[in-house]
């Protein structure tokens, strides 16, 4: 009896699954897909004029660009975004000497503990400290940003598809909605507290435009256009996400060269070892 009941229950379960699958397949095949405005007006990421110096197997960091990108992050992005995986001493890798690293760190306030009272306080940074978070916790971050928590930027270019181009496009992609968008989608609007950006997947983004021409004064005299600042900070954030990329590429070429040499050596050794062995003639 129990066996018959189990078989019946199994058949009923199988039947229900098959019916659900059939209904789902029929609905997917016949239901008209409603395409929103992002389907037509969201643009693919763009690449800055001249491309990236670090692209390709022979790519190298443009140290001057990385330093400009740090300046943009420092004066614009750091008000809302942290770099919790980057230490001040890492700046030596982008051309800062020991004194510059110490001075840069000392100009920052990092969380600390008062040795006399044990209470939380702040202190001047040391080269071994990491970039501080601008907010004490996520609650404070959300309260200051219209309930949107700004992400940490240490790994942002690895966390987003086409990361370097994504950051560059997003920062330089703000503007007014095109007229044809309102014509095709009369219900579309940009709610208060959001901003239109054609490089953001959903078109409306919580982060307001951050860059304006001349906002940053570069030490090397480079003109601080929106596109230039966007490219510089995108390159800097690519470095924070993968600081050893250039060394990795150089190691890769060395490994390829060694394998090529070892292959040739093995072939010559094989020829030498088997040179005295004469193949048997077929009868």
Annotated binding site for heme c: 77, 80-81, 207
- Residues 105, 99 contacting (CB under 8 angstroms): no
- Residues 206, 217 contacting (CB under 8 angstroms): no
Of 129, 141, 152, which Cα lies nearest the Cα of 77? 152
Report d(CA 150, CA 206) in Å as an integer: 9
Which residues of 115-241 form beta strands (DSSP E)?
A: 120-124, 195-196, 204-205
142: CB partners within 8 A, 6+ apart: 148, 149
Annotated binding-site ranges:
77, 80-81, 207
Report d(CA 201, CA 152) in Å as an integer: 19
Neighbours of 179 (CB within 10 A): 8
C-alpha dihedral, 173 to 174 to 177 to 181, nearest 10°: 30
Report d(CA 280, CA 2) in Å as an integer: 73
Tokens for 37?
A: 């405005």
Which residues of the chain form beta strands (DSSP E)?
A: 109-113, 120-124, 195-196, 204-205
Residue in the structure block whose two tokens are 């659900």: 20
Report d(CA 157, CA 198) in Å as an integer: 19
């Amino acid at each position: 009896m129990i066996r018959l009941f189990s078989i019946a229950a199994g058949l009923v379960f199988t039947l229900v699954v098959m019916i659900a699958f059939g209904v789902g397949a029929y609905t997917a095949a016949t239901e008209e897909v409603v395409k929103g405005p992002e389907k037509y007006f969201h643009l693919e990421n763009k690449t800055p004029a001249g491309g990236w110096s670090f692209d390709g197997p022979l790519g190298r960091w443009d140290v001057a660009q990385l330093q400009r990108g740090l300046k943009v992050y420092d004066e614009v992005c750091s008000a809302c975004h942290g770099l919790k995986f980057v230490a001040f001493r890492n700046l030596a890798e982008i051309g800062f000497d020991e004194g510059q690293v110490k001075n840069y760190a000392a100009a920052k306030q990092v969380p600390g503990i008062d040795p006399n009272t044990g209470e939380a306080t702040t202190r001047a940074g040391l080269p071994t400290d990491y970039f501080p978070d601008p907010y004490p916790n996520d609650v404070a971050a959300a309260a200051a940003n219209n309930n949107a928590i700004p992400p940490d930027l240490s790994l942002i270019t690895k966390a987003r598809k086409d990361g370097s181009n994504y950051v560059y496009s997003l920062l330089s992609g703000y503007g007014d909605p095109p007229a044809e968008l309102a014509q095709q989608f009369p219900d579309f609007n940009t709610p208060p507290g959001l901003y239109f950006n054609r490089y953001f997947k959903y078109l409306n983004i919580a982060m307001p435009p951050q860059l304006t021409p001349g906002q940053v004064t570069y030490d090397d005299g480079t003109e601080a256009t929106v596109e230039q600042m966007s490219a510089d900070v995108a390159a800097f954030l690519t470095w924070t996400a993968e600081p050893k990329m250039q060394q990795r590429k150089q190691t890769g070429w060395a490994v390829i060269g060694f394998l090529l040499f070892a292959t040739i050596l093995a072939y010559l050794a094989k020829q030498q070892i088997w040179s005295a062995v004469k193949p048997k003639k077929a009868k």
